[in-house]
Structure 1
Amino acid sequence: MTGAMYAAISGLKAHMQKLSVIGNNISNINTPAYKASQALFSEAIYTTLTSGSNGSASAGGVNPSQLGYGCSVGSISMDMSTASFNADGNNMHCMIDGDGFFLTGDKPAATTNADTPPKTTLTETDPQNLELSRVGDFKFDSQGYLVDGRGNVVYGFVTYTTATNNTMDNAENPKTSTQLVPIRLPIAAATSADAGAPAAGTALYPTLDSTTKMNAYPAGSGNAITADSIAIDRATGKITAVNKADGSITVVGYLALGTVANPNGVTRLQNGYYQAGEGAGNCAATSVGGAVTGYYNNKAAGDTGAVAVQSSGKTALITGGLESSGTDLATEIAEMITTQRGYQANTRIITVTDSMLEELVNMKR
């Protein structure tokens, strides 16, 4: 008899957990790029009263007889499908139309190399260690870094130069580095009386380290250029800006998108971030529309460990707004009603079982 009560208790727990999922979905009805979750129940353990039989030459077979002990939450799955576009008129806001994530995180470690003059070289970053996000609320901070609304730097592929003075002064420039780095505006040249020195405010780009081909900036780099008319290209993720100092058009770099084998398997973190942990597969940094080609970390074909930069495929960007929440309010309200009734029915089982136990105790008076 108490088995019915314990089964009902497990049902109460499961329905409360499902209601928590529904409540979280509804509370995030206006959270940009929120991905709704769904709780699914599974049957709990069974006790076999009589086992089944295939029968014999003289007797027929019988089915097994089993008693169940309620239910539990079998899985809480996440729907990573693309939601609708919410236009807000901000040209620095963008939405991913398709699979993929923006790559965000802390700034990578840097070392001063032995070049003449010395330069600050950024170390290699593994996209597996970065945080994933679907919220493209971007801006450039006071140091010239592209950051999201929570202050994490946004990763991608930046423009570099082969000129020794870090300017764009020959036919071979500009180039796009295939090292995954935080996107940053070029450095503004300082005032200098040296002959041939670039004019104050001229954009200075990173070069490549002479030995490792990593992105290298002038040691003790100054302030970033003052940019205007910043735009993000939908098809390629290319970020362009106008340098206020001289009016030149600057190609800052290209946004990278992180892709995993199983987008629904990413692990939720706080503030709308995800992690490519167990269940999602390895995370790779891809180029929007295949705009950036070559091999990661500026390697050449045939180099040891050379891995080609892949295209994001049909996934593109929509600028001027953010992705809406993935919560379907009508569905959540309907689920809330059925969950409430399921919880109510389980309480009735406990009430009836209690009444039956009371009758059993009162049999002998």
Structure 2
Amino acid sequence: MVKSMFSGVSGLRAHQQKMDVIGNNIANVNTTGFKASRVTFTESLYQATGASSDGSDTYGGTNGSQVGYGSQVGTIDLQLSTGSYNPTSSATDCMIDGEGFFIVGTKGEGFADTGEEASTGISSKFLSRAGNFTLDGDGYLVDGQGNVVYGYNYEAGVAGTGTISPIKAFEDGDTPYSYTGVTINSSGEVTLTKGDETTMVIGKIAIANVPNANALEKTSNGYYKAVSNTGTILPYAPGSGGTGELLAYGLEMSNVDLAQQFTDMITTQRGFQANSKIITVTDTMLEELVNLKR
């Protein structure tokens, strides 16, 4: 009887964890670039109550028997489908139409765009799907949290040679110039319009291709961090290396399916109730056992 109580407790814990994930999904239904998570259950421990045996000349074989100890959370997976395009009026807003992640982080030195150096360099940064960018007072292209955006730098409008570094309108020591606008096109080029109406490409946004994106570790503010199981992450220009192109003047909406979340919430609630019933019924049976001797 105690086994059934343990099974009920494990079921309560598993369904509570699933409800936690569902609640987080629903809470982020309007979060830019948010990726929903999915919970799957698996069986817990088993105890053998009878061994199997071979048949003989006299008797046939018998099957073994086992009693389980309930369920547990098996996996919590990221749902990486692309969210819908949400048009905005900002020329520096963009979304990745397909696979890949923006590379953002603190100001730092550049790194090569190929080989182990590229993978190591990206692993020290954050990955993001939120493309709400702007230029700060120092000329850096930054995201909503103030982290600089990494990409291919341009000098005098000419693409750099294989180095990923923070995209910046002007170098340290240069005299900052006034500008009237900044735009980002589908290929990731960041174009600055100066006060004299001339234009200059200051960089191209790099997109990280993650072989096993499901292994990424979620952190705060919509960021992801690479872990050992994500594979070798390499940067590419948008639309190359298996990454998606950029869609300008818009942001990626959350990919949360509210109808599915509400359905999961109902079934999870019923599962929780059913497991709590196991505990109450087992408790009633134990009470009857205790009351046998009055």
TM (norm. structure 2) is 0.92
Q: Report the CA distance shift for 1:180/1:57 in structure 2 as closer, same or farther (over 3 A).
A: farther
Q: Specify the alignment match of 1:8 in structure 2.
A: 8
Q: Are residue 177 (structure 1) and residue 127 (structure 2) matched? A: no
Q: Are residue 277 (structure 1) and residue 272 (structure 2) matched? A: no
- The CA deviation at 1:288 is 1.6
Distance 1:53 1:223 in 2: 87
Distance 2:230 2:222 in 1: 17
Which of 235, 259, 265 is matched with 2:209 structurally?
259
Distance 2:272 2:174 in 1: 63
Q: Are residue 129 (structure 1) and residue 58 (structure 2) matched? A: no
Distance 1:313 1:15 in 2: 37
Which of 335, 340, 348 is matched with 2:264 structurally?
335
Distance 1:283 1:337 in 2: 38
Q: Deviations over 1:10-58 (max 9, x none)?
A: 1111111111001000100110111001111111100001122343454
SS of 1:7's equivalent?
A: helix
Distance 2:3 2:220 in 1: 40
Distance 2:238 2:153 in 1: 14
Which of 215, 227, 234 is matched with 2:179 structurally?
227
* 1:197-236 matches, cutoff 5 A: 221-234=173-186, 236=187
Q: Report the CA distance shift for 1:56/1:84 in structure 2 as closer, same or farther (over 3 A).
A: farther
Higher relative contact order (CA 8 A, sep 6+): 2
* 1:73-112 matches, cutoff 5 A: 73-109=73-109
Structure 1: which 5+ residue stretches go unaligned? Answer: 111-122, 161-167, 188-219, 290-310
Q: Are residue 323 (structure 1) and residue 275 (structure 2) matched? A: no
Name the stretch that deviates more: 45-54 or 336-345.
Answer: 45-54
SS of 1:73's equivalent?
A: strand
SS of 1:89's equivalent?
A: coil
Q: Specify the alignment match of 2:149 in structure 1.
A: 154
Q: Specify the alignment match of 2:114 in structure 1.
A: none
Distance 1:109 1:312 in 2: 24
The percentage of aligned residue pairs carrying the same residue is 44
SS of 1:347's equivalent?
A: helix
Larger Rg: 1
SS of 2:231's equivalent?
A: coil
* 1:24-103 matches, cutoff 5 A: 24-103=24-103
Q: Report the CA distance shift for 1:145/1:223 in structure 2 as closer, same or farther (over 3 A).
A: farther
CA contact 1:239–1:253 (8 Å) conserved in 2: yes
Q: Report the CA distance shift for 1:357/1:313 in structure 2 as closer, same or farther (over 3 A).
A: closer
Aligned alpha-carbon RMSD (Å): 1.9
SS of 1:52's equivalent?
A: coil
Q: Deviations over 1:320-365 (max 9, x none)?
A: 1110111111111111111111111111111111111111111122
Distance 1:270 1:314 in 2: 24
Name the stretch that deviates more: 135-144 or 275-284.
Answer: 275-284
CA contact 2:131–2:143 (8 Å) conserved in 1: yes
How many residue pairs match? The answer is: 287
Q: Are residue 346 (structure 1) and residue 275 (structure 2) matched? A: yes
TM (norm. structure 1) is 0.75
Q: Are residue 359 (structure 1) and residue 266 (structure 2) matched? A: no
Which amino acid is the alignment partner of residue 363 of structure 1? L
CA contact 1:185–1:225 (8 Å) conserved in 2: no
